[in-house]
Structure 1
Amino acid sequence: MSVTLDLSRMAHSPSREGADAPKPPINLSGLTRPQMVAALTESGVVEHGKAKMRATQIFRWVHHRGVTDFAQMSDVAKETRARLAERFTIARPEVVERQVSKDGTRKWLIRMAPGIEVETVYIPSVGRVGALCVSSQVGCTLNCSFCHTGTQALVRNLTAAEIVAQVQIAKDDLAEWPSDKEDRLLSNIVFMGMGEPLYNMGQVADAIEIISDNEGIAISRRRITVSTSGVVPQLEALGEKTQAMLAISLHATNDALRDVLVPLNKKYPLDQLMAGIRAYPGLSNARRVTFEYVMLKGVNDSPDEARALVKLIKGIPAKVNLIPFNPWPGTDYQCSDWTAIESFAAILNRAGYSSPIRTPRGRDILAACGQLKSESEKVRASAMRKLSMAAMAGVLDDDEDEAAA
């Protein structure tokens, strides 16, 4: 029997700390500009009449310039900077490990707090110039049978500050400050890392508002994609609150198989899911939904399955990302043969659907789709890499660049 502790709640438990225990500093990196105005006013650090102006200054320093110390904010009075430092923080979490794949993919293991670790991956030559795959939870509750991340129990949701911090850390490493510098390497954000984003809707929505704000990181909402396994009741809210692009982790064309591959399907079967997708706010030929389909040998890769997929998504403005299965130690699944993947894609193409075959990226550092997992839940990285390299031997590569993480 395993027990999962929500450390975020324990850290703020009155019974442990006492009613008069000092509150931890608020991380301004996780506040939208309106939220920052309210926080500055309520703290008494900034008078009400100047709060909006001051919030915009701070927001630009944090998200446009990338500073991590209030002392660096040269257009803010020294006394105000000192008071800000007493009540708030803009510090980054700890980068425990940084790995770079032979294909240029970068992966960071980030420790948000003791026992709270996530992995974040940057994939070059994806989207316009490069995409960052961010996590929304520590672990996952969905238990998708083909996904390494799904074998790690949920610890807790990430806060908006912790989601945004993943982008900031990537920008630090890529030397992407200020945010308007020319020849940026990071153009797209994909919520395809650890966790189910729609089970953390509030924090994900705030993070997207912060990331897309033109005064800061300024990544367009049309370059931000949220991937879900199909939490149908939250689809409308996602579209209305975030205007983000939608991706669906599909992987099967009938309920019997999807119940096995994506157990959430038992709660929200395909008929409900497809109805929710068709009603997604803003869905159009200019804002297509992306269906993600992991190619599993002898499981879901037959020509009949391809034709069933065409029938399932008929009439929906969509493209289908075909994802060669990424091996991980202990899995029983195998990647489909390349000829099977190409035949599957050809059927979709003839039906009028773009179906790029996602280039496997970062496999040698377990940074590819479905391979992310906190270090605290892994066997030693060196042993995993040896197993992974053995499992993936002989798998072909491809030059398609449609993909995210």
Structure 2
Amino acid sequence: MDAFYASVEMRDHPEYRHKALIIARDPRKHNGHGVITTANYFARQYGVGSAMPAIKAIKRIPSDKLVFLPPNFEKYRAVSAQVHKIMHEVTDRVESVALDEAYLDVTENKLGDCTAIELGNYMQKKIYEELKLTCSFGVSYNKFLAKMGSEYAKPFGKTVILPDEALDFLGMQDIKKFPGIGKKTQEILRQMGINTGSDLQKQSVHFLIDRFKKQGYVLAMHSRGIDLSPVQGERQRKSIGKERTFEPLIFDQQKALTNLRIFSSEVAEALNKQSLSTKCVVLKIRDADFRTMTRRKMLKHPTQNSHVIFDLAREMFLALPEFLNIGIRLLGVSATNLEQESYSQINLFNAIED
């Protein structure tokens, strides 16, 4: 995705489209603190970008053109899930590496006899039409080159790197364009007179390994267009559950139900975060003698509603009164038979966009 967080905000707030939009806490209101999660392309013209101190934006961008917005990660995760849904229309071999980035293996795909370029065009067009956002994609014979291609023609670009073109393409790239080469390594390489992919290609594998150890081997392989890592498709979760062991034991029905309500809410929240719903609720209960029992209830329609989950858990619990008499050592609620849910209600952890 192109300047993902900033693009989402500009879509939702057209008044920011002609401003230098910085997604970060305003350092003027936080004692100079704050880190840029991303900046729109207008702001990038002033030399600011993700992971930089937000205070630098104030120093480089005229105040009448500068806008700070605190990140809304819940919104970005929801939009990311919508993008991922479109990707899964093409293939289930999707390796998500960030909210705004993923690798797809389209050797086999769901849309029939299409080339990789046609599939990229399909996703790019659909993301723009449905979400009003732009993305860029790279097509090549391995992940490293596809990543290089996706960055090469941003924004709203497409790049195809064929096997017989890879060495020339990599040779003309500055080393800062190589994924995985951080600023410290860049400094060391430049001190050695290595500034481009072509310079890297001239170094022997043994020399790079001796100087940079494991990273040196990766540098040697990548500069020669070699990357053997496969696309790791996402694995579908089989269940989501919450449980707790109690000491002292529970003998009070209300206390047990209170905990079941909390567990049901936590399970529902986890389902919501992962855009999943459940068609089966499972109760797990263990008594003082370590006798463990599970009960399950199927639903006619999938849900991620905490009240529905709790009602089923409570019904199963009340049918087992003997556990209260002995004392409850463990209680748990799980959701199984998971299905993909709507992508409109998703929370997000704090993350920095590349």
Same fold (TM over 0.5): no
TM-score (norm 2): 0.27
Structure of greater Rg: 2
Higher strand share: 2
